[in-house]
Amino acid sequence: MKLHARPTILTNTSLADIADKVEAGARLDFDDGVRLYESNDIHTLGALADVVRRRLHGRRAYYNINRHVNYSNYCVLRCKFCSFYLPFEKAVSGDSASPMTTDFGGTPLPLFGGEAATGHDHHAGYELTVDEMTARAREAYERGATEIHIVGGLHPKLPFSYYTDMCRAIRDACPRMHIKAFTAIEIIHFSRIARPRMSIREVLIALRESGLGSLPGGGAEIFDDRVHDEAFKNKVGEAEWFEVHRTAHELGIFTNATMLYGHVETRAERVGHLVKLRSHQDESLASRAAHFNCVIPLSFVPDGSALAHLPGPTGLEDLKTLAISRLMLDNVSHVKAFWIMQTPKLAQVSLNWGVDDIDGTVVYYDITKREGGGGTTHQELSVDTLKRLIREAGCEPVERDTLYRRVIREDGDWRVEEPS
Ligand code: V47
């Protein structure tokens, strides 16, 4: 698509050379990304991102009917940006009351607040049994969900069989529902806890055989050693994150990619992160059976984390980051604004700033909770609201499945439209 009647703003801007590249479909380099961040010409930035978005998707904007479920908030890591985790030792040493046992076949464990994922006290530690996970999946499936998104903390005790059993039980109960589960960090954890130890490839194959459909994009944070050491030192770094996604792509498993921005990183470090994702995607598109479907820039929510003294990104920084992600990642089809983190209103605005996807109904979300949220994990948008947000932005709502196939609903049932 050409910028037929180029608005004067684009000819008068100091970003004119970047506008020329965008118009020509040429790749932006690292310095272009930093300049876009530093420019005050936000209208040009938004317009350029919109050019790329329209070229790829016209006025379509995607949403899905999904359900996020977190199996446990116990975690062996202590990432400073995270308000989700609870140290397991704290729980077993008796900080909480009402222990319950699990049914996953391992050593009985204390289970506190097993209903946390349905909207109860989010400060308590919990781990859900396979039966509880399956019940949540079934409930979502019966309400029309096409996807379940499962992630959790790195639990020190649960055996690898818990995760394969969970996938198998959900697949059996909800055969058409796509299981998008486990960040790269969890996959590495599984490869270490499996007995005998398993390679990343073996873990992914075992999970896929149990029903796993694709991997979500979490755990990427910012690919930079300085930021890694300052904000999430004990977590594996970018080499391991990319190894998991590379292996998944080789196996034909599609994945997403995130960037957690607005904490201790600089803008240049964000651009560096995007360039690294782009290089990986080039390789996957050229030589692997799958690739990144979508990039999700996640806006840091400081509340309750060890970085709660930081302000978090402004709305303008959110918009800039979404637009620059669209412009830098010329080889990733979709850019998602996750409304839980960017807020529904900003996600709506971003639909004219490069974004083509606002995630889905979500229903329960436990990883970030904004203060004043009433202590509940219930965070839901109805399908009507998602469609209204999209229409008000001048876009056409399209229900998609996890792999971005259009979902058609007829006579109380749904099917996906195979790409022609
Ligand atoms: O890995 C943790 C991030 C991620 C905070 O693939 C935080 O479709 C903001 O990856 N503020 C999990 N973010 C969420 C995630 C995701 C979400 C929606 C869709 C998809 C997808 C993936 O959340 C974590 C971490 O990077 N996170 N703490 C926080 N305080």
At 290-309, the pLDDT tens digits run: 999 999 999 999 999 999 99
Mean pLDDT, range 411-416, rounded to an integer: 94
Are residues 72 and 36 part of one domain? Answer: no
Region 361-390 average pLDDT:
82
Three-class DSSP category at 270? helix
Q: Assess whether pLDDT exceeds 50 at residue 157.
A: yes
Q: Does 323 sit in the ligand 1 pocket, CB within 6 Å?
A: no
Question: Is 123 among the domain residues?
Answer: no
pLDDT at 129 over 70: yes
pLDDT of residue 117 exceeding 50, the answer is no
Omega of the bond prior to 196 within 30 degrees of 0, cis?
yes
Task: Please say if the pLDDT value at position 6 is more than 60.
Answer: no
Q: How confident is the model at residue 375 (pLDDT cuts 50, 70, 90)?
A: low
- Can you give the CATH number for the domain in which 175 is found? 3.20.20.70
Residue 409 falls within a domain, yes or no? Answer: no
Supply the residue whose CA is at minimum distance from atom 2 of ligand 1: 82
**Dist CA 378 CA 362 (whole Å):** 9
Q: Is residue 107 part of a domain?
A: no
Question: Which residue shows structure tokens 């607005």?
Answer: 262
| pLDDT tens-digit series, residues 200-248 | 999 999 999 999 999 999 999 999 999 999 999 999 999 999 999 999 9
Going by alpha carbons, the residue nearest to atom 21 of ligand 1 is 216
Distance 165 CA to ligand 1 centre (A): 24
The reply to whether 117 falls in a domain is no
Ligand 1 atom nearest to CA at 185: 1
Q: How far is CA 167 from CA 172, 188, 310, in A?
A: 9, 17, 38
* 147-154 mean pLDDT: 97
Binding site membership of 152 for ligand 1 (Cβ less than 6 Å): no
- Whole-prediction pTM value? 0.91
Report how far ligand 1's centroid is from the alpha carbon of 415 (Å). 29
Average pLDDT, the chain: 90
- Helix, strand, coil percent content, the chain, rounded in steps of 5: 40, 15, 45
Indicate if the pLDDT at residue 180 is higher than 70: yes
CA 140 / ligand 1 centre spacing (Å): 21
Residues 40 and 70 in one domain: no
Quick check: CB of 150 below 6 Å from ligand 1? no
Task: Kindly state the tokens that stand for 387.
Answer: 């469609």
Q: What is the pLDDT of residue 238?
A: 97
Centroid of ligand 1 to alpha carbon of 328 (angstroms): 20
Distance of alpha carbon 319 from alpha carbon 354, whole angstroms: 9
**Nearest protein Cα to ligand 1, atom 18:** 338
Between 196 and 11, the more confident residue is 196
Residues 145, 192 within the same domain: yes
Segments forming the whole domain that contains residue 253: 62-76+130-403
Q: Of all protein residues, whose CA lies closest to atom 8 belonging to ligand 1? A: 216
Residue 88 φ then ψ, to 5°: -65, -40
> Going by CA atoms, what residue is nearest to atom 4 of ligand 1?
218
Do 236 and 382 share a domain, yes or no?
A: yes
Which of 401, 385, 292 has the alpha carbon at shortest distance from 347? Answer: 385
Total structural domains within the chain = 2
CA proximity to 84, closest of 414, 383, 364, 386:
364
Q: What is the pLDDT of residue 377?
A: 79
Closest C-alpha to ligand 1, atom 16: 218
Alpha-carbon distance 94 to 105, whole Å? Answer: 23
pLDDT-derived band at 120 (thresholds 50, 70, 90) equals very low
367 lines ligand 1 (CB under 6 A): yes
